[in-house]
Amino acid sequence: MTRLSVNINKIATLRNARGGNIPDLLQVARDCERFGAEGITVHPRPDERHIRYRDVYDLKGVITTEFNIEGNPTPALMKLIDEVRPTQATLVPDAPSVLTSNAGWDIVSNRSFLTEIIAQLKAWGIRPSIFIGTDLRQIEAAASVGTTRIELYTEPFASGYHAGKPHEAVAPFVTAAEHALSLGLELNAGHDLNLENLAFFSASIPQLSEVSIGHALISDALYLGLEETIHRYLACLKHK
């Protein structure tokens, strides 16, 4: 069954807008788990514009499900990952200036670098995942660098779904998923998944291990409340 990991970056963004500790990031993480989420995701960036490095250390003592730290594996982030030892580290090729993740890795061009990073994560007992598109050659390269999982970058699917072409939009992801599974890789997915498109995506790729959702989920919670929102996302994944 596909796990729901809630990305709480936007909670930190709201807190940071005024300073202080409202909303309380740690309490939101606790509540997400209490309401049924099976993981918490954070993406600390170098400018700490939302999640701060200090938050990551504090969350380690709070989270009782799976903790996923995602980001560009700079020396600073790798030091943080080493000290916190999350369940999973998701490698994302973000430049410091990007507003949000907008592309997967070119693994072919970064094969040596990623092989070294993934070997280190495994030595620390951390499950590695690589943020990636649907190019089959890149998926084959992902298998060659030793990762356990890939996370499919789903913005192209979300855009196509919104344009009224759901089957056309999901087709490359189904092909990519089948190829990844044939290579022994496990599957995560994330970016622009929401209550409108998640059930269709999940039904199309039932082998998904995890989806990571933040912006849409937190936005929905403004109207529905956090508990109801999490329950609706879990229902999209066919949780009982």
Catalytic residue among 38, 50, 66, 191: 191
Catalytic residue among 43, 50, 151, 210: 43
Distances (CA, A) of 213 to 27, 68, 219: 18, 12, 11
CA-closest candidate to residue 189, choices 167, 163, 158: 158
Active site residue 43: yes
Distance of alpha carbon 50 from alpha carbon 42, whole angstroms:
9
Active site residue 178: no
Tell me if 215 sits within 8 A of 10, measured CB to CB.
yes
70 catalytic per annotation: yes
Amino acid at 195: L
Give the CA-trace dihedral at 115, 156, 52, 26, to 10 degrees: -110
Nearest CA to 152 out of 90, 200, 78 is that of 90
Q: Would you say 39 and 65 are in contact if contact means Cβ atoms under 8 Å apart?
A: yes
Collapsed DSSP state (helix, strand, coil) of residue 109? coil
Residue 94 sits at φ, ψ, to 5 deg, of -75, 130
Active-site entry in 33, 38, 70, 151: 70
Residue with tokens 């009224």: 164
Catalytic residues: 43, 70, 191
